[in-house]
Structure 1
Amino acid sequence: MADERQQDTRSRLTASRRRVLAAAALAPVLTGVPAGARALSPGPQDRALVEPVMTELADWADVGEALGRPGDMRRFMYHTGLPRRDLTVFSRGIRINPALVLGSHVSFVRYADHSTLLMGDAVVTECELQHFSDVLQEHGIMQTAIHKHLLAHEPDVWWVHLHAHGHDP
């Protein structure tokens, strides 16, 4: 009986994983983006480049508060690490140190036009992935990649690359 339940759970997770991967692969087609279009990065002929500006840690206090932890400055970039110390992940029977590969992080850059760029990488479990994706989309944060870093591991963990650009960091 336990084997049947375990097989059913794996079957549902595999189907869920396939739906997420199919949606990621089909997203450009479903949104009507023509093949070869560069919708996210117009060329210099379309828009002048805007230079990043130097900021200080104090400029990002509201962002640190919203993230629930302070960040640090790395050249002109505000960076916050968010390690997943709550996960116990095994790959081929070996426990993975969270500092090795289970680190989420986000970085922010301010530009001369007062806009802000967010880029980052989030580590989420298979069970968290759908809700996490929904919340990102609600807030206008794009997922530029969804993939795995480890060949075989339990529980299933996904790495989601993040990108957003706007006037409200």
Structure 2
Amino acid sequence: MSALDFYVHVAVCGEVLGVGLGAGPDAWEAALGATCLDVPGGGLLRRDYGLVEINFSPDRPGRQGRMSCFGFGVKIQRLLYDRSPSTVPSPLSREYGEFAPRAPFEELRTAILALGHTVELDKHNTSSDMDCYRVSASAARIHVVADPDPYGAGDPDPDGHQGGDVWSLDVW
């Protein structure tokens, strides 16, 4: 398996190592490990594993103290500048191998299409510097760098993000 296989699975199935929307912090910890940064605030919890970031909110009334995932993201953009081993949780490295600092959108789109899904431009969530794509029958959105020099500085970082790089996969 490869990092591309991981990205395709997230985009099509909306899960990471068997956990996804609705799962509690304990389920995510069982899948990705205990090495993370918890950021509570406003009654919510953001759990940051580097490559994967999960958002939790309190469950319905009557389930005191329980939280569940209402959204998560695979933050591929972090791999370009943070190459420390802890950026990719070790369970993901064991399952999928090495994660390259870039993920070309065309490769991801081709793999998703091969599984019979469609990938459509989400015009409502696209901006001048970032395109957003929706995967059919999935809650996933793929954010792709459209303009690596959005502020017109005229000198985009040649080692930085390039047009066509996947920025993130988000499931909400």
Instruction: Please say whether Structure 1 and Structure 2 have the same fold, judged by a TM-score greater than 0.5.
Output: no
What band does the TM-score fall into relative to the shorter chain?
A: under 0.3
Q: TM-score, normalised by structure 1?
A: 0.27
